[in-house]
Amino acid sequence: MALVDDIGIKIKEMRLENGLTQEELANRCELTKGFISQIERNITSPSISTLIDILEVLGTNLGDFFDESEEDAYVFTKDEFFEKHNETLKNTIKWIVPNAQKYEMEPIILELEPGGKSHDDNPHSGEEFGFVLRGTITLKVGKKRLTVNEGNSFYYIANKNHVIENNSKKNAVVLWVSTPPMF
């Protein structure tokens, strides 16, 4: 549970996240700006009913406000990446956001050896974006064959067959983001 001394700080953070001034929050809760200021500076504590009103305006409730469970992670280290090498396709996929399947997009790093390729992907709902970090790749979308060089990006609606190939003699590395998660 949050400490009583943290209530004002958390309310202020939430107010700012919601883009409200003290006066706007006070007006929506039928309180004074001065009272909100005193709460945020931990000079006074609101009653439970007043706290419930404030939290409702801020888009939360008592349970969530005092929930101290671990928040979603925002930063992931190399140690958390999952890596899979495919000898047949001559590629390595690194899932760089753990459990990305639960999100709306899934970023990976695709490393392609010379002659390597991604799996052939059938049409599906969603969109795909990529940025070539190293080397040169051939992007096939439907009947189109496009060369994408290092430092360039690609983007397409995934409603046609698509695949990435490395037809060069050097390794290629692509940051590839799919929505919805597909890899």
* 136, 165 Cβ separation under 8 angstroms: no
For the chain, the straight-line distance linking the first and the last C-alpha, in angstroms and rounded, comes to: 39
Round to whole Å and give the CA distance between 161 and 58.
45
For residue 86, the surrounding DSSP H or E stretch is: strand 82-86
Residue-level pLDDT at 4: 54
Q: Residue 24: which of 1, 50, 54 has the closest Cα?
A: 54
Q: How confident is the model at residue 1 (pLDDT cuts 50, 70, 90)?
A: very low
Q: In CATH, what class is 4-65?
A: mainly alpha
* 23, 33 Cβ separation under 8 angstroms: yes
Residue-level pLDDT at 102: 76
Per-residue pLDDT of 48-81, as tens digits, reads 999 999 999 999 999 888 876 656 678 889 988 9
Global pTM reads 0.63
DSSP classification of residue 59: T
Domain ranges of the chain: 4-65, 78-179
What three-state secondary structure class fits 110? strand
Per-residue pLDDT of 27-47, as tens digits, reads 999 999 999 999 999 999 999
* Crossing angle of the two packed helices 22-29 and 48-57, in degrees rounded to 10: 120
Q: In CATH, what class is 78-179?
A: mainly beta
Per-residue pLDDT of 147-169, as tens digits, reads 999 999 999 999 999 999 999 99
How many CB atoms neighbour CB 52 within 10 A?
Answer: 15
